[in-house]
Amino acid sequence: MTTDAFFEKVLTVRLTPDRKGVDIIDQTLLPGTVKRIVLSTREEIWEAIRKLRVRGAPAIGVCAAYALAVTSAAFETEDMDDFLAKVHEDAEYYASSRPTAVNLFWALRRMENTARENAQMSVAQLKERLYEEAQAIRDEDVNISLGIGRIGFELLKDLKKEGKSIGILTHCNAGTLATAKYGTATAPVYYALDKGWAGTDMHVYCDETRPLLQGARLTSFELSSAGVTTTLQCDNMASLQMKMGNIDIIFTGCDRVARNGDSANKIGTSAVAILAAYYHIPFYICAPSSTIDMECPTGEQIPIEMRDGSEVTDMWYKEPMAPRGINVFNPAFDVTDHSLITGIITERGLCRAPFDKAFEELGIGR
């Protein structure tokens, strides 16, 4: 059940009570160990984002907003220009932690704009204002997930057949662990539970999501903990599941959506979308409007993070699972072409092609 106790247990990111640190669940230790850590210095915050202790586009944005409020509060200056320069310096530093998820830059820009727009305040007042803005970003994220959940739930209702559970496939983790509360791709599922559906009304198939196993370690963990019927599969098993008729709908998250609807998400998402098109299964991207980058014309312009090859060869094994020194291709994300996407679910509404027009109609980017 999606009780508050469940969400409290897996609360991704919050401010410490004394507001001197960012308190996160260390996602690198899940599912075996549920441990919270406090990040107090800018270096600790950068490392936590870089190493995916906190990850998922919206959660990274919330974490960066809290981080900027925390580290700015410690600046020992009364001079506003000096304060703003220091805020900018920290924002640039956090922005260098990961390149693809646009929410990171969006949240930092919003925090910096708040600082600049309130420069008539005293430095002490502005520090308070930054805490408020970070909290607003976090609270809005909860409502955004709910909005996505409500729309996704309507799609699930259309698929409901007496005596049969709905097969939902998801890739990576766009769940509560990737956001402030309900997730994006998982939001329709949590929403359905809250509307009285049983965990057995839906069957979620989680791609394990090589190489960092967010599907295995995080999505299957959180959904099964919430009482949802969950099956874990290797990424290369998705095709057979679709062929067997077990998948009715696909929901994934995204890290950045270009103006034309091309969507960057965890590596392997585009393969899922290609399979879905082949098997005529609806493929939906779940995207907070802050993930839609109207300044980015197409997927070609989305920077793709490349990560260390040891994540593929060594990370999960006692012994290296590949010859020493082998070349490794390890991009963290790929771009799904807009032509493969049935719809993009935002908290403001469901967008269908042409996506640029649909985004404009919803006022996204304004």
Least distance (Å) from ligand MRU to the CB of residue 343? 16
| 152 vs 253, beta carbon nearer ligand MRU | 253
Q: How much of the chain is in helix, strand and coil states, percent to nearest 5? A: 45, 15, 40
Residue 47 Cβ, how far from ligand MRU at the closest point, in Å?
15
Q: Looking only at residues 70 through 109 of this chain, which bind ligand MRU when binding is defined by CB under 6 A?
A: 101
Residue with nearest beta carbon to ligand MRU: 253
Tracing tokens 């996204």 back to the chain, one arrives at 364
**Binding piece for ligand MRU, criterion CB under 6 A, among 116-124, 130-138, 159-167, 247-255:** 247-255
Nearest approach in angstroms of CB 170 to ligand MRU is: 9
In the complex, the smallest distance separating the C-beta of residue 159 from ligand MRU, rounded to whole angstroms, is: 22
Of the pair 133, 255, the CB lying nearest ligand MRU is at 255
Q: Which is nearer to ligand MRU, 12 or 313 (CB)?
A: 12
Q: Which of residues 199-238 bind ligand MRU (CB under 6 A)?
A: 214
Q: CB of 296: closest distance to ligand MRU in angstroms?
A: 16
Single residue of 2, 22, 25, 55 touching ligand MRU by CB under 6 A: 55
Kindly tell me which residue out of 222, 255, 262, 356 binds ligand MRU, with binding defined by CB under 6 A: 255
Three-class DSSP labels, 114-172: HHHHCCCCCHHHHHHHHHHHHHHHHHHHHHHHHHHHHHHHHHHHHHCECCECEEEEECC
Give the count of residues interacting with ligand MRU (CB under 6 A). 18
Catalytic residues: 255
Residue 357, SS3? helix
Q: Report the SS3 class of residue 180.
A: coil
Cα–Cα distance list, 120 to 64, 85, 145, 211, 366 (Å):
24, 15, 34, 48, 25
**Alpha carbon distance, N-terminus to C-terminus of the chain:** 37
User: Residue 233 and residue 228: Cα distance in Å, rounded?
Assistant: 16
Phi/psi for 210 (5° steps) reads -65, 150
Would you say 94 and 67 are in contact if contact means Cβ atoms under 8 Å apart?
A: yes
Say how far apart CA 312 and CA 303 lie, in whole Å.
21
Residue among 27 and 260 whose Cβ is closer to ligand MRU: 27
Shortest spacing between CB 185 and ligand MRU, in angstroms: 7
Residues 153-182 that bind ligand MRU (CB under 6 A): 172, 174, 178-179
Cα angle, residue 294 at apex, residues 290 and 296 outer, rounded to 5°:
115
Which are the contacts of 88, defined by CB distance < 8 A and separation ≥ 6? Answer: 112
Residue from the set 151, 155, 166, 254 that interacts with ligand MRU by CB under 6 A = 254
Q: Does 281 bind ligand MRU (CB under 6 A)?
A: no
Q: Which is nearer to ligand MRU, 83 or 283 (CB)?
A: 283
Q: How far apart are CA 355 and CA 340, in angstroms?
A: 12
Residues 324-353 touching ligand MRU, rule: CB under 6 A, are 332
The maximal CA–CA distance of the chain, rounded, in angstroms, is 67
Q: Which of residues 180-199 bind ligand MRU (CB under 6 A)?
A: 184
Contact residues toward ligand MRU (CB under 6 A) are 52, 55-58, 101, 172, 174, 178-179, 184, 214, 253-255, 265-266, 332
